[in-house]
Amino acid sequence: MEKRTATDPWLLLQQWCGIVTAYLEKEPPDSSVVERLALMSISYNDQWIAQALGQIERDPTVLDRLYAAYPAWVDVVESVAQAGEKLPLRKERLGT
């Protein structure tokens, strides 16, 4: 990604989401780790989003721990959402 020449930040965010998705596919499904839940909640995989939101609803301390570790998490979520609205990822690129 460091070698890319495009200056569109939305495309960079989409590429990052693709990398995150590929990473999550290789990890064991331990949804008790706050970072994993955070990544699942902003992925483009509907099943992961549902699992993350379900866990977050059952354990209200998850978001508190996430915000304590990453104070700008709200900005990350908003940026990813805006990138998805502006230029949606094509599922065939992610192999799903």
> Which tens digits make up the pLDDT trace of 44-95?
788 888 888 888 889 889 888 888 988 888 888 887 777 667 665 555 444 4
Contact 6, 78 (CB under 8 A): no
What does residue 69 show for φ and ψ, rounded to 5 degrees? -80, -35
- Residue 61 falls inside a structural domain: yes
> How far is Cα 35 from Cα 60, in angstroms, rounded to an integer?
15
- Residue 71 falls inside a structural domain: yes
pLDDT digits (tens, 9 = 90+) for 9-58: 667 777 777 787 888 888 776 667 888 888 888 887 888 888 888 888 89
What does residue 9 show for φ and ψ, rounded to 5 degrees? -65, -25
For residue 74 the two structure tokens come to 């709200």
**pTM, two decimal places:** 0.61
- Residue 65 falls inside a structural domain: yes
> How far is Cα 36 from Cα 2, in angstroms, rounded to an integer?
24
Tally of structural domains, the chain: 1
For 34, the domain range is 29-86
User: Given this model, what pLDDT does residue 94 score?
Assistant: 45
